[in-house]
């Protein structure tokens, strides 16, 4: 009986020590660079010397799975005008505006540790700023294997409609970068419906041969298709071997036709050369040309005719046409609304299923 108390005291000390060790394990921190393989990346990114990632095109998505109670990200936007969506465990997204200076973004913080899936989606356009993700820091147990992307791959080329401009418009509010929402764009919705990963390579106001204001010295589609970040023609240029799409959708022409119907031969010859570049760079890809949602009347008819002649000049069984209905936006903005983007995806998806036999 005299030995019972010391034994109980020792046993109690052991359990207290074990509990403290467990709490210490659960509250430990783990930091990984943005280019770490535990983070799955969809979209064009540039890997910097410090293993951080920089991106400019909308829709760039980064996802990870963790076991822990808190996760933070070190991020910044070069212009301080970029927005991201953060989605935790498929719950509704939280939209966050990034500062021009590096900031700590708290992605989640729960009272208890658990397994969570996290997605960061770039809402904004390239000219809103370049976004850099430096690292993720986890309070908890570990980073788990990264989510697996779908096997099918789509590349969507276009202008502000493809970028998701003004999807989240607010009536009576001055237009601002919060209105862009690539996640709800027709391109990303179509890819989701087709169980495919997707890259959006788009630039608001730009066209095939000229911008919305008639300028021909801007970077238009044949130029910015080659860009990694989408802001200038300077390095880094995109390495097309990094992403070989099964399907390429080209939805360009609205801004070319904004000042008036462009010269037929100039437009068709440029489009033909560009599509040949796509065919050469992506030898396994099917290419679908479409007129987009904004043009109507004579301009729409002219663009559809130009697309038809482009296909005739190419003589390729890998180049197709998909029609688009007119979606004129609303009184707040001429860009398609969120509901109209959803309708565009519903119209486009069955055409692509038939073309691709998906």
Considering the segment(s) 29-144 as one domain, its CATH architecture is Sandwich (2.60)
- Tens of pLDDT along 194-241? 999 999 999 999 999 999 999 999 999 999 999 999 876 566 899 999
Which residue numbers are catalytic? 160, 333, 335
> Which pLDDT belongs to residue 27?
66
Same fold, 29-144 and 152-356: no
Give 152-356's CATH code, choosing from 3.40.980.10, 3.40.50.2300, 3.40.50.1110, 3.40.50.10800. Answer: 3.40.50.1110
Dihedral of CA atoms 91, 71, 36, 32 in degrees, nearest 10, equals 180
More confident residue, 3 or 322: 322
User: For residues 31 and 49, what is the distance between their CA atoms, to the nearest angstrom?
Assistant: 17
Query: Is pLDDT above 70 for 280?
Result: yes
CB 155 within 8 A of CB 240: no
Cα–Cα dist 109/287, whole Å:
44
Look up the pTM and report it: 0.92
pLDDT tens per residue, range 77-110: 999 999 999 999 999 999 999 999 999 999 999 9
Mean pLDDT of 118-125: 98
What would the pLDDT profile of 141-191 be if each residue is shown by its tens digit?
A: 999 999 999 999 999 999 999 999 999 999 999 999 999 999 999 999 999
In angstroms, rounded to a whole number, what is the distance separating the alpha carbons of residues 332 and 69?
A: 42
Q: Is the pLDDT of residue 325 over 60?
A: yes
Give the confidence band of 24 by pLDDT, cuts at 50, 70, 90: very low
Single out the residue of 134, 141, 113, 115 nearest to residue 30, CA to CA. 141
Closest C-alpha among 65, 66, 37 to residue 53: 37
User: Could you tell me the residue ranges of all domains in the chain?
Assistant: 29-144, 152-356
Predicted pLDDT at 236: 84
């Amino acid at each position: 009986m005299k030995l019972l108390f010391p034994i109980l005291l020792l046993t109690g000390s052991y359990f207290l020590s074990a509990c403290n060790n467990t709490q210490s394990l659960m509250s430990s921190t783990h930091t990984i660079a943005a280019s770490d393989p535990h983070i799955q990346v969809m979209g064009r990114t540039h890997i910097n010397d410090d293993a951080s990632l920089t991106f400019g095109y909308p829709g760039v998505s980064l996802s990870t799975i963790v076991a822990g109670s808190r996760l933070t990200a070190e991020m910044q936007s070069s212009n301080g005008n970029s927005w991201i969506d953060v989605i935790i465990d498929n719950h509704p997204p939280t939209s966050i505006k990034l500062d021009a200076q590096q900031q700590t973004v708290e992605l989640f913080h729960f009272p208890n540790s658990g397994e969570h899936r996290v997605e960061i989606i770039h809402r904004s356009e390239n000219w809103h700023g370049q976004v850099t993700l430096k690292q993720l820091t986890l309070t908890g147990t570990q980073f788990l294997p990264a989510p697996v992307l779908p096997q099918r791959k789509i590349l969507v080329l276009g202008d502000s409609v493809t970028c998701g401009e003004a999807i989240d418009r607010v009536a009576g509010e001055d237009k601002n970068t919060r209105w862009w929402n690539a996640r709800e764009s027709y391109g990303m919705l179509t890819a989701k419906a087709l169980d495919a990963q997707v890259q959006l390579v788009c630039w608001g106001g730009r066209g095939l041969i000229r911008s919305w204001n008639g300028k021909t010295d801007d970077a238009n589609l044949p130029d910015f298709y080659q860009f990694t970040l989408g802001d200038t023609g300077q390095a880094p240029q995109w390495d097309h071997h990094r992403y070989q799409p099964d399907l390429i959708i080209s939805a360009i022409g609205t801004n070319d036709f904004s000042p008036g119907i462009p010269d037929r031969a100039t437009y068709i010859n440029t489009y033909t050369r560009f599509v040949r570049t796509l065919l050469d760079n992506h030898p396994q890809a099917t290419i679908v040309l479409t007129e987009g949602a904004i043009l109507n009347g004579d301009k729409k008819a002219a663009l559809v005719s130009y697309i038809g002649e482009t296909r005739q000049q190419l003589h390729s069984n890998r180049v197709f046409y998909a029609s688009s209905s007119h979606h004129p936006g609303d009184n707040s903005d001429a860009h398609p609304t969120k509901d109209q983007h959803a309708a565009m995806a519903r119209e486009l998806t069955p055409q692509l299923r038939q073309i691709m036999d998906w």
